[in-house]
Every structure is written in C-alpha cells, then in structure tokens.
Amino acid sequence: YEQTKNYLGRALKDLGIPLLGCVPDRPYLGHPALADLEKLLNSKMISGAKHRFRHYTVTDINLVTTSLTRFLTNLREKPSRTLYICHATREDIVLGFLAEYQRRKRAGISFEAALVLSGREGKYEISKELYDMIDAQDEEVPILTSPFTTHHTMEMIHSYTPKLNINDKGRVVAAVSHYEDYIDYDLLLSRTGNTLTSERDGDVRSV
C-alpha cells in the first residue's frame, strides 16, 4: 500500500495532479450477500429471507456431488458460514441440510450455512413435499434456487463482482469506515471549490 501510494503520488505530481487517496483492498466488500445472488440468478430465496444480507466468501463455495454422509461431515467440519450448491434433484442433501440446522438449534450452535438449489428451469422442479419441509423451518434456513445448471451457477457466482447496495447496511458501513481513512477529504473539497467543512475523528476543520 505505502509503496503504491508513494509511486502514484510522485507520478501524478509530475502532471500537476494531487493524489486524493489510495485505498487498499478489503476482501469483505467483494463478498456477495445472498441478496446479490438473488439478483444475479434472477431468483428469490425460498427460505431464510431474513438473512439475505449475509455475506459469503466465493472461494469457499462448495459444490455438493458427494453422498449425504460426506455432505453432513463437511457441514460439521467446514466454517459455519459456507455456501453450498447442489442439484435440485438431490432431495437427500436438502433434507440433510435441514436436519443439521435442527441439530444445531437444539444444541444452541450457530448455523450460518446457505444452500443454492440449481437446475434448468422447466426441467427440474422442487417437489411440493420438499417445499413443505422447507417451510416448516420458520424462515431460519437460507435456501435459494437457480434456474441454471450447477456448473453455470458456479461460474456465474465466481465471476460476479457485487455492487454497493444501499439496503445492505453492513456493507455500506464497512465501506464508509474503510474508505474514509484513506481519502483526503479536505483536499478533495478544496480542489472542487467547495466551502463545506470536513468532519473526521470528531474534529471540524475548514477548507
């Protein structure tokens, strides 16, 4: 960061342009929330909508192609906040996912995993019976559908860059907190001829 800031500052100075800020990357801001995936997949959460602004690390996405036993082992060994993708026909995986939620609920253990059910629209449908099982979880288990194949769904999520969403208060607060430490707002206001004042760290300074 310091090396980049110093290099860019000197390069821009030679052109008579001030460097207003140099902001290092913060990976969290690039982690999609379930609400982002709803938009990306043009779908809606069928359960757990209250958690739609929960963020997940794309690199930790798990495509479920294993047996139910192996899946349940992964659920217990991997970080709680992990995003899983499976085909809509894997009803055993869905039921195992719901059962693990119930187990943790009884044990007082946090459950933050989410499940994406994929399958070409019009060809693969979730049965009414399975929907009934999902509905019985009191909207606590995050599940959404994708009208695309599992492979296509994975590709779309991996290549997706989420945008700032005003309704995602957690990300907005994190972005503001992160950026304000690396931008010279006094210089920015003065260069734009603005007579406002900049408030930072509780101090008010004229520009």
> pLDDT tens for residues 65-77?
999 999 999 999 9
Give SS3 for 178.
helix
User: Which pLDDT belongs to residue 204?
Assistant: 43
Name the average pLDDT for the chain.
Answer: 83
Q: At what angle do helices 34-41 and 150-158 cross, to 10 degrees?
A: 120
Q: If pLDDT is split at 50, 70 and 90, which confidence band does 97 have?
A: very high
% of the chain residues with pLDDT over 90: 43
Q: Indicate the pTM of the whole model.
A: 0.73
pLDDT value at 42 more than 50: yes
**CA 114, chain centre distance (Å):** 11
Distances (CA, A) of 11 to 16, 17, 20, 21, 185: 9, 9, 13, 14, 20
Q: Angle formed by the axes of helices 128-135 and 91-107, to 10°?
A: 10
* pLDDT tier for residue 94 given thresholds of 50, 70 and 90: very high
> What's residue 31's pLDDT?
77
What ranges in 78-202 are assigned the alpha helix state H?
91-107, 128-135, 150-158, 169-180, 185-191
Rounded Cα distance, 200 and 70, in Å: 51
Q: How confident is the model at residue 45 (pLDDT cuts 50, 70, 90)?
A: very high
